[in-house]
Amino acid sequence: VRLEDHTRRKSLYVPVDEQSARGTLNAESEVIATGIEGLIGDTPLIKLKSLSEAAGCEILVKCEYLNGAGNSPKDRVALSMINHAEEEGLLVPDRGDTIYEGTVGSTGISLAAVCRARGYKAYICMPNDQATEKSDLLLKLGATVERVRPASIVDQDQFVNLARRRAREHTDDPDRPGRGFFADQFENTANYLAHQNSTGPEIYAQTNGRLDVFVAGAGTGGTISGVALALKPLLPEMKVILADPQGSGLYNKIKYGVMFSSTEAEGTRRRHQVDSIVEGIGINRVTRNFEAGMHLIDDAVKVTDQQAMMMARWLVEKEGLFVGASSAVNCVAAASVARQMVKEGKRDARVVTVLCDSGTRHLSKFWKEAGDVGGADAEFTLDEMLKAEK
């Protein structure tokens, strides 16, 4: 953890008299990172005042959208996967290698940015029902984008399967320079290791080890597993809670040990698609990254689209924070858990969750729906929000 850098960066804003400032200057006091990597990690942790007050205990959020390469926690993951592949000799800069990935957006954006900086090309396969802001940005970042119809994981043209195939086609083609590397964020354990080695330790250092609950949704499961693996050995009493959007199967998996407790017909339908306007979290299978920390997850909270939209509006109106859908889901679950802790008499409890990306990534989809929820001033109480159905 480079926490020292973090606090020093803050001190830049404290006025100091020139004499004493000069006195502290020496080669070691320089804080200069090289390139885009210097923008990844060491994100701020802030307290949400209005939500903490409404819930009755502290709710803190790790501002992962402030990672400065692709503006999401996936910056950490992209860097980790690329570093790991370079160590294994699977990727060699400036050889003509291309990184292939199946992603709903965030990971692709982080990979595309880090690829440019490291001398690789990026080829991104994504479902065509995702917000177009993300595919537009990918193209501007110089990635090749292949958008495909949403399909089940057993379909060979499903976006993840397609990325794997495209990587193999590249490597097998003697006329193409370099190799194809399939990053595989769902199964590549360099994903959760990024969070175990950076996000988790940062949260521990920033809170001085004082937190009672960590709440997060799962897209690949990298965040929740990695943070749980980092923090549980240090804080055995701390609870890890999954925030799960409607239509995702993970809630049932954590609560009851099975993905589908509903009818077989409904189960089959749901296995193909998470039925929610929330992008980035919610899945209907156990990935290797989710499995890595699944045994450390204590409970799950289901969050409806309506609740997520109300939270997104709340965060704008009362905190000035314009966040994406998965961040809103995380905050609903965090507020719900905080409420529960207070009911149990734990008024000094501290709940930590994650703000994953900005609302600007979701203007054409989630925010189109959420824009008017709650009227001009988002006039509703936390209790009304927590009770809101689909």
CA distance linking residue 145 with residue 109, whole number of Å? 11
When the beta carbons of 65 and 120 are compared against ligand PMP, the nearer one is 65
Count the Cβ atoms, other than its own, within 10 Å of residue 390.
10
Q: Where are the beta strands (DSSP E) in 66-190?
A: 98-102, 121-127, 144-148, 180-182
203-211, 216-224, 237-245, 291-299 -> range binding ligand PMP (CB under 6 A): 216-224
CA dihedral 196, 199, 201, 204 (to 10 degrees): -130
Applying CB under 6 A, does 280 fall inside the site for ligand PMP?
A: yes
When the beta carbons of 217 and 374 are compared against ligand PMP, the nearer one is 217
Applying CB under 6 A, does 293 fall inside the site for ligand PMP?
A: no
CA distance linking residue 39 with residue 115, whole number of Å? 15
Three-class secondary structure of residue 109 per DSSP: helix
Query: Is 74 noted as a catalytic residue in this protein?
Result: yes
Chain positions 97 to 136 lying near ligand PMP, rule: CB under 6 A, are 104, 106
Applying CB under 6 A, does 220 fall inside the site for ligand PMP?
A: yes
**Per-position DSSP letters for 300-362, written without gaps between them:** EEEE-HHHHHHHHHHHHHHH---B-HHHHHHHHHHHHHHHHHHHTT-TT-EEEEEE-SBGGGG
CA angle 46, 49, 50 (to 5 degrees): 135
Binding mask 312-351 for ligand PMP (x = CB under 6 A): ------------x-x-------------------------
Nearest approach, Cβ of residue 95 and ligand PMP (Å): 29
Closest to 122 measured CA to CA, from 150, 136, 102: 102
5-13, 40-48, 219-227, 369-377 -> range binding ligand PMP (CB under 6 A): 219-227
CA distance linking residue 146 with residue 149, whole number of Å? 10
Q: Locate tokens 């314009």: which residue?
A: 322
Applying CB under 6 A, does 219 fall inside the site for ligand PMP?
A: yes
Please answer whether residues 330 and 60 qualify as being in contact, where contact means their C-beta atoms are separated by less than 8 angstroms: no
Nearest approach, Cβ of residue 181 and ligand PMP (Å): 19
- Length of the chain counted residue by residue: 390
Chain positions 51 to 90 lying near ligand PMP, rule: CB under 6 A, are 72
Applying CB under 6 A, does 222 fall inside the site for ligand PMP?
A: yes
When the beta carbons of 180 and 280 are compared against ligand PMP, the nearer one is 280
Applying CB under 6 A, does 43 fall inside the site for ligand PMP?
A: no
Applying CB under 6 A, does 197 fall inside the site for ligand PMP?
A: no
Q: How many residues bind ligand PMP (CB under 6 A)?
A: 16
Amino acid at 121: K
User: Residue 253, class by beta-carbon neighbours within 10 Å (0-12 exposed, 13-18 middle, 19+ buried)?
Assistant: buried
When the beta carbons of 196 and 326 are compared against ligand PMP, the nearer one is 326
118-126, 147-155, 214-222, 377-385 -> range binding ligand PMP (CB under 6 A): 214-222
Nearest approach, Cβ of residue 124 and ligand PMP (Å): 13
Applying CB under 6 A, does 42 fall inside the site for ligand PMP?
A: no
Q: Choose which of 110, 135, 198, 223 interacts with ligand PMP (CB under 6 A).
A: 223
When the beta carbons of 97 and 248 are compared against ligand PMP, the nearer one is 248
Catalytic residues: 74
Interface positions with ligand PMP (CB under 6 A): 72, 104, 106, 217-223, 280-281, 324, 326, 356-357
